[in-house]
């Protein structure tokens, strides 16, 4: 696209989107030869070989396979230059089945990997299981009945709110971790006020500091909406009237709205029973049921949930929204859209980026969408100071998807004001995951860095890779080679010291 800038308005118009060409700014396929760890200083942990009966389970193979050791490594090598301003802990959660087996990528025990950065140095790396009740009883979903409460896998994300470092799954309660060593401090039920499940994707309003969250349950109430105040008190818990138990992974907020995504991935009791009876099976407790329909629910931020209004859309699934914001009477919401998920093939597919518009001024909500002409990507991150507000910058993991393979290949940064797509796609088979944006102190939106664990199959290890957020195509400004590999996982955060 070069110098052909487009405006946000252009971007959101259907006609303009077709002109949004890929711009790698000369950095596409940028290798970072200088940053490669040619002579690893630590013995590699062999990639786990899956059991013979699990050869088709891609989530147990290669760098999806779990690691079996909890490692502490200190005074890590830094290749390049870590900005001294990066002071704190980068941590990322993921699914790491204690038994070595899981029926699905999403259903292993939570393991958090963290690197502490201080004064331009990388002081330590640790990986620790989240010590849930399920982990203590041997891992996995077990045979003790319906998971929930302290019996969740807690494997999806980590975050910080009200001074607490939280590990989150979407089935069960949050767990509090100790940021200095990633140990598990205990389950968080908000003084007994939380009774249902708690999402791994709560949203913190950058103006009020309120954390908005939800939980879907397998029994009524199937959906609940929560508000946690900046002191960490759960101040509101309301059921949302939905007819089925559906897997609701994410939601969105604006300055004045909450948007729920009720999509047809339904709880499947038969699958759940089969999975519990036969832990080596690939049965899962969800199934794709497009006949149930798909709809978006819009309600006032903070509730009441009785004020929710719904609009039907074509069946689809969205694991992750990028952001949502108000444009007058229209809610704009950018998402990573899948045609389906949890189908019988259980194969991964690639998400397209779409911007949805929901007109709220009409008696019935009106829905429309545009598809962004950018390569498939998911695991989005933004400058969290713009959560629920118009945001110019986003960073996503670019998706490589083919039958039997799902991978995130580097970083995709889109500037919606210039229209420039800036990508870092590492060579040598290296693969990343979600990128975490860390703002520069006092900087404008998007000024700062993004970081992620990147796996290198040539050395069977991972490194923490840091990119300049406004120029990811330049490649890493710093890499921290780790003594082990970090299995592909889900969501991370950076917590300032
Ligand atoms: Fe997620």
**CA 379 to ligand 1 centroid distance, Å:** 7
* pLDDT at 54 exceeding the cut of 50: no
**CA 215 to ligand 1 centroid distance, Å:** 14
pLDDT of residue 481: 98
Q: What is the pLDDT of residues 63-76, one digit of tens each?
A: 999 999 999 999 99
pLDDT of residue 274: 81
pLDDT of residue 454: 98
pLDDT of residue 477: 98
Residue 249 counted as domain residue: yes
455 close to 60: Cβ distance less than 8 angstroms = no
Distance CA 322, CA 360 (A): 20
**CA 250 to ligand 1 centroid distance, Å:** 7
Q: What is the mean pLDDT of the chain?
A: 87
Residue 459 counted as domain residue: yes
Distance CA 94, CA 99 (A): 15
Please state the domain count of the chain: 1
Residue 1 counted as domain residue: no
**CA 3 to ligand 1 centroid distance, Å:** 34
**CA 112 to ligand 1 centroid distance, Å:** 15
Distance CA 477, CA 17 (A): 32
pLDDT of residue 12: 27
Residue 3 counted as domain residue: no
13 close to 432: Cβ distance less than 8 angstroms = no
**CA 26 to ligand 1 centroid distance, Å:** 31
Distance CA 486, CA 138 (A): 22
Report residue 207: phi and psi, to 5°.
-85, -45
**CA 199 to ligand 1 centroid distance, Å:** 9
3-state secondary structure 109-124: CEEEEEEEEECCEEEE
CATH number at residue 372: 2.130.10.10
Pick 347 or 285 by higher pLDDT. Answer: 285
332 close to 315: Cβ distance less than 8 angstroms = no
Give the model's confidence band at 53: pLDDT under 50 very low, under 70 low, under 90 confident, else very high: very low
pTM for the model: 0.88
Q: What is the pLDDT of residues 229-242, one digit of tens each?
A: 999 999 999 999 99
Residue 390 counted as domain residue: yes
Residue 2 counted as domain residue: no
**CA 200 to ligand 1 centroid distance, Å:** 7
| Range from 36-40, 115-119, 149-153, 185-189 carrying the lowest mean pLDDT | 36-40
* pLDDT at 37 exceeding the cut of 70: no
Residue 382 counted as domain residue: yes
DSSP-assigned letter for residue 351: P
Residue 118 counted as domain residue: yes
* Structural domain harbouring 85: 8-496
| Range from 28-32, 154-158, 170-174 carrying the lowest mean pLDDT | 28-32
Q: What is the pLDDT of residues 294-351, one digit of tens each?
A: 999 999 999 999 999 999 999 999 999 999 999 999 999 999 999 999 887 656 678 8
Give the model's confidence band at 143: pLDDT under 50 very low, under 70 low, under 90 confident, else very high: low
3-state helix, strand, coil in the chain (%, to 5): 10, 40, 50
Q: What is the pLDDT of residues 460-477, one digit of tens each?
A: 999 999 999 999 999 999
**CA 237 to ligand 1 centroid distance, Å:** 22
């Amino acid at each position: 696209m070069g110098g052909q800038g487009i405006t946000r308005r252009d971007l959101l118009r259907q006609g303009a989107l077709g002109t949004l060409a890929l711009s790698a700014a000369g950095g596409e396929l940028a290798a970072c030869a200088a940053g490669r760890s040619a002579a690893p200083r630590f013995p590699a942990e062999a990639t786990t070989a899956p059991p013979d009966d699990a050869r088709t389970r891609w989530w147990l193979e290669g760098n999806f396979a779990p690691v079996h050791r909890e490692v502490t490594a200190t005074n890590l090598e830094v290749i390049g230059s870590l900005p001294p301003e990066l002071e704190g802990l980068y941590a990322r959660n993921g699914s790491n089945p204690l038994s070595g087996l899981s029926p699905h990528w999403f259903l292993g025990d939570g393991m958090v990997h963290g690197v502490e950065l201080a004064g331009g140095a990388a002081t330590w790396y640790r990986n620790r299981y989240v010590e849930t009740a399920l982990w203590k009883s041997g891992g996995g979903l077990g045979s003790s009945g319906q998971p929930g409460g302290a019996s969740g896998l807690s494997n999806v994300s980590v975050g910080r709110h009200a001074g607490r470092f939280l590990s989150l799954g979407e089935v069960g309660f949050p767990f509090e971790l100790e940021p200095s060593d990633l140990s598990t401090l205990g389950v968080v039920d908000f003084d007994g006020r939380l009774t249902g499940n708690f999402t791994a994707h709560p949203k913190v309003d950058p103006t009020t500091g309120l954390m908005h969250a939800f939980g879907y349950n397998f029994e009524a109430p199937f959906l609940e909406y929560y508000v946690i105040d900046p002191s960490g008190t759960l101040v509101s818990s309301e059921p949302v009237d939905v007819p089925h138990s559906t897997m609701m992974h994410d939601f969105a907020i604006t300055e004045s709205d909450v948007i729920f995504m009720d999509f047809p991935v339904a709880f499947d009791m038969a699958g759940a029973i089969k999975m519990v009876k036969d832990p080596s099976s690939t049965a899962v407790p969800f199934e794709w049921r497009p006949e149930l329909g798909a709809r978006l629910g819009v309600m006032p931020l903070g509730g009441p949930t009785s004020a929710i209004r719904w609009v039907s859309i074509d069946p689809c699934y969205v694991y992750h929204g990028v952001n949502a914001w108000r444009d007058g009477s229209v809610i704009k919401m950018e998402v990573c859209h899948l045609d389906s998920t949890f189908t019988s093939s259980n194969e991964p597919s690639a998400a397209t980026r779409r911007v949805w518009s929901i007109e709220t001024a009409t008696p019935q909500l009106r829905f429309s969408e545009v598809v962004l002409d950018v390569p498939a990507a998911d695991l989005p991150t933004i400058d969290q100071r713009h959560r629920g507000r118009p945001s110019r910058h986003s960073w996503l993991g670019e998706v490589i998807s083919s039958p039997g393979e799902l991978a995130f290949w580097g970083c995709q940064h889109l500037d919606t004001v210039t229209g420039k797509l800036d990508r870092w796609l590492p060579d040598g088979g290296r693969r990343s995951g979600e990128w975490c944006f860390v703002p520069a102190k006092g900087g404008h939106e998007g000024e700062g860095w993004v970081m992620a664990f990147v796996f290198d199959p040539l050395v069977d290890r991972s490194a923490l890779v840091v990119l300049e957020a406004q120029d990811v195509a330049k490649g890493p400004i710093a890499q921290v080679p780790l003594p082990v590999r970090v299995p592909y996982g889900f969501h991370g955060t950076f917590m300032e010291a």
